[in-house]
A = this chain, B = another copy of it.
Amino acid sequence: MPTRSGSSTGTSIAFRYDVIPADMQTVAAIVASTGFFNPAEAQIAVELVEERLEHGAASGYFFVFAEQAGQALGYTCYGPIAGTDGSFDLYWIANHRDHQGRGLGRVLMQETERLIRDFGGRRVYAETSGRPQYEPTRVFYARLGFFRETHLKDFYAPGDDKVFFVKVL
């Protein structure tokens, strides 16, 4: 199992890139712990794991799990955007509630960017809602070095814009 270690959270973090059936539960637990995502969103997070398990790399979904003593504390899900030369989507980045505020998001993002660069990636996109309740998400992306490039008005629903963040690698 390929791993690399990061250390900015104090105790050693190991990265895991392969996906196993138990990760459906792992991802569900991490996403639920945040208290931030609704059931439909949480279900999509698990479905991306299922897609990966079923279709492998051909699914287009790649994962980084940050583990400590064999326990996943957080993860990212990302992948190349079809029809582009070097643009990637960051589909998910989530840390378990018990391990937030310790720089884990930054460590996960750095590792994810390293892998994206290895794939030939130039730009990473993260999309979120423009609604007030998603302000913490937008702040989170900004702290990770993304900038808010543009938005589509009323995309998700009337009064609910889609906001595009991008990080240029």
Contact = CB atoms under 8 A, between A and B. Distances in A.
Contact of A157 (B84, B125, B152): B84
A82 to B, nearest CB: 8
A83 interface: yes
A160 B122 CA distance: 13
Interface residues of A, number: 24
Main secondary structure of the interface of A (DSSP, over half): strand
B157 A85 contact: yes
Copy number in this complex? 2
Contacts of A157: 84-86
Nearest to A166: B152
A123 B166 contact: no
| Chain A to chain B: the 10 pairs with minimum beta-carbon distance, closest first | A85-B157, A150-B150, A84-B156, A87-B155, A152-B164, A149-B152, A84-B155, A150-B152, A123-B154, A85-B156
A167 to B, nearest CB: 13
Nearest to A83: B156
B122 A156 contact: no
A144 B3 CA distance: 52
A92 to B, nearest CB: 13
A85 B166 CA distance: 24
A129 to B, nearest CB: 10
A151 interface: yes
A35 interface: no
Given A81-B155, A125-B152, A152-B164, 13 more contacts: A40-B83, A44-B83, A84-B157, A85-B156, A85-B158, A86-B157, A86-B158, A122-B154, A122-B158, A123-B154, A150-B150, A150-B152, A152-B166
